[in-house]
Amino acid sequence: MPPEQADLVINLIDLSDEYYRISDPGGEDFLAGSIGQAGLISPPLIQQKSDGQYRIISGFRRIFAVGLLGWPKVACLVLGPEKPDLSCWKMAVADNALSRTLSLMEQARAASGLMRACGSADQAVCVAKGLGLSLNADLIRKLTRLMALPEEVRQAVARGRMSLNIAMGLETIDHASAGMLAGLFMELRPTVNHQQEFFTGLHELACLRRTAIASVLQDSDFASVLSDSDTDRREKLRVFRKTLRKLRFPELSRAEDLFDRRKKNLGLPDNMDITAPAGFEGTVYTLTVRFSGVLQLCKSAEILAGICRHPDLEAILRRSPDENP
């Protein structure tokens, strides 16, 4: 049966039922202003439930806006309770996808609903495509999985603070830890590479300590970084990374610090640098000398001759196993 037009009393609509919701909330004030001026041009789609109440299929923001205007009734298109779930999802997706570009979370809600109603990602892809929503099967699966993650994670992904792939990795950890990690990403705004570094490092520390990431993040070293309100975000990010590395790789970090200290003692001029082999595994060190003329090169050679006799260079190259490199 096609939907029937009706003026519904707003109080009969169960506003808490967001089963078919696709749209992100927000902007209702502006929408209320527009409806107040021009009227409700496009009626929301509503379905009567078996208990007599009504639920929204599409038009969540419109009905909320009408509520803000204080209208007792709203003109709707009403579907009967017998309308199949997939048909309702098709209408919800079509109404949203054809009117604007959906945000990632809106796509996730649509994908998750279609997956449920269709029973398979491949079927959902076909249905979505016909409704103007271009999603591949892999993305549909990922977005569906995203919907099962804690709200903090979904928010972090929606705001571009957490990559979808990192979010997928959080499925294997407890919700409290996933939520804390999302909060950390919201606060420090790490790049995608740094997100992976944080997740891997914290996860491995948690495995080593046989505890949860949430518990690792409560470690005093991390807590002191995060609670410092005087430090700006970039500095906090830098210190957090360094702290994580020290806890995850204590001996290697110690060796790096020792190398840096000794290198500093060498008093290299600005145009010279010495780099250690990666992980101190190989034995070949690299010396870089930047120069723009013969005079500067000769001067550098003189300085270098002095550095070659420096006890700290000897210590760097000796790499005694007792004291690390």
Residues that bind another protein in the complex, under the rule CB under 8 A? 204, 207-208, 249-252, 255, 278-283, 319, 321, 324-325
Burial (Cβ within 10 Å: 0-12, 13-18, ≥19) of residue 230 = exposed
Mark out the alpha helices in 163-191 (DSSP H runs): 164-169, 175-188
> Of 19 and 249, which has the nearer Cβ to another protein?
249
Of 99 and 283, the one with the shorter C-beta distance to another protein is 283
CB neighbour class for 183 (10 Å; exposed up to 12, middle 13-18, buried from 19): middle
Shortest reach from residue 259's CB to another protein, in Å: 12
Amino acid at 179: G
Q: Kindly write down the DSSP assignment for every residue of 74-93, as one continuous string.
A: EEEEEE-TTS-HHHHHHHHH
Nearer to another protein, 51 or 281 (CB): 281
Nearer to another protein, 38 or 284 (CB): 284
Shortest reach from residue 202's CB to another protein, in Å: 12
Contact 78, 44 (CB under 8 A): no
Q: How far is the CB of 197 from another protein (least distance, A)?
A: 14
Which residue, among 26, 29, 57, 22, has the nearest Cα to 43 in the 3D structure?
57
Shortest Cβ distance from residue 279 to another protein (Å)?
Answer: 3
**Smallest gap, in angstroms, from Cβ of residue 157 to another protein?**
23
Between 132 and 250, name the residue whose CB sits nearer to another protein: 250
Distance in Å, CB of 211 to another protein, minimum: 12
Q: Which is nearer to another protein, 141 or 319 (CB)?
A: 319
Residue 164 tokens read as 């979808």
SS3 252: helix
| Rounded CA separation 145/303 (Å) | 60
